[in-house]
Structure 1
């Protein structure tokens, strides 16, 4: 139960006392109004493991569920961030996947962002949590909610069959490229299953071939897989940038990445963001959000400088 990464902006709080934190959170919700600043000060500066201990202490001392109490006190995007912070990583991922498929329509971006970027071990944990929490498998829900090649790629990702080693066999790589090329250009249409096997199982590919041969969600997921292989921080930096640039903000994407990566690689994501876009992630968030929602995201983002 320690930190889940070592490149995060959120690190273990020194002199941590779960009972004291639980007491402060209880006080923050007492009487009329809510002390949002106190909630931010605690939750944005504790690791996921420490937040679990605060939840246990709250249950023990107050006799109630911390997430439920906060849920009834807070609202909007701020509430989404706070509730996300209280969940274990695979629980949050499973929750997000479930909500991306519930109701009318499917938030493909969520399925892509999570499934293309998580390791085999993380995928296994998500699968286990999903089954426990929702009574059916993630694969069942994905099969019921998506179709065609897109579905097949998602299923191949959740069976966690990716080769995560870095030893690239040159001759094999050339053979792969040849197979992709022949399946694509030398024939009408694309034998996408070959793309699929080569990509998901052997971990490498040719960017422009994907762009040329595919469209829509299928192209999105293949590009995401490739980008995550090259650099997860760069992949997330781009997703964050796209969630905020131009008019409006895709808050679901912004929240999901800020919550999920705060303890893992937020420092690297910030560095990539600056390198790729010449502006800080901090300044983007500041300009695109407001109120307590902005405050908690900026705390998760960490200092503007580094």
Structure 2
């Protein structure tokens, strides 16, 4: 494929039950102008997105990503996306990704200020090479997100459970991690609970139990983490959502950051404290995550 592929979408109302939405898609030159300067996604980050990993032309966990797109739309008071239309757009974009690993981004914006709304588009691109992170692992630092564990319930307007385009803080956290000599970060609450990575979910193993932070604290429900937990349950292992204190990060028998494109990256150190990495289990996780999944 070319470096990038872009598809503009004329959003259909959720009640539109047509079988074929091809007429609502317009492939455009991804290097040419396609959006208005009044677009609120760029002016204010006022919109939502999803990133779907693609393996061999197959979009991974497309259903979960589309359901999360709809969930974010509800939280942000955006028009409900027609998921049949979006699924067809995902299929169209995935066909452009070729035989290797790729990534699809779904973007739904509030549109143009004082103009038509919403604006929607899909892009596809080749994935970076994440082999080193998957095999050698990553070093992380913990960063205070500036909220306590009850903030999401107390202040829903913070949109803590939505995947919005307002990602400046997440990117700033990654830069801070790099300044501290780490590869990635894990957000924690001001009252000492583990949240998530800027672009990933946290999974910990204690003995034969697997744990991820409970979503009631306002973290994003990770599609890759959910799929991995389904796999763990299907293979007879215990996996649960719990409140995880920060101290547990260095007490775990193994830890991973999991995401749709990088997949499972073992954590080898937290705030400079070395923790064990399980190379065999990481390889098993990634074999599963690279297998076709809907």
Q: For the superposition of Structure 1 and Structure 2, which TM-score range results when normalised by the shorter chain?
A: under 0.3
Q: Based on CA coordinates, which of the two structures has the bigger radius of gyration?
A: 1
Which structure shows the bigger proportion of residues in strand conformation?
2
Which structure shows the bigger proportion of residues in helix conformation?
1
What's the TM-score, normalizing by structure 2? 0.25
Bigger relative contact order, structure 1 or 2, given CA contacts below 8 A and separation 6+?
1
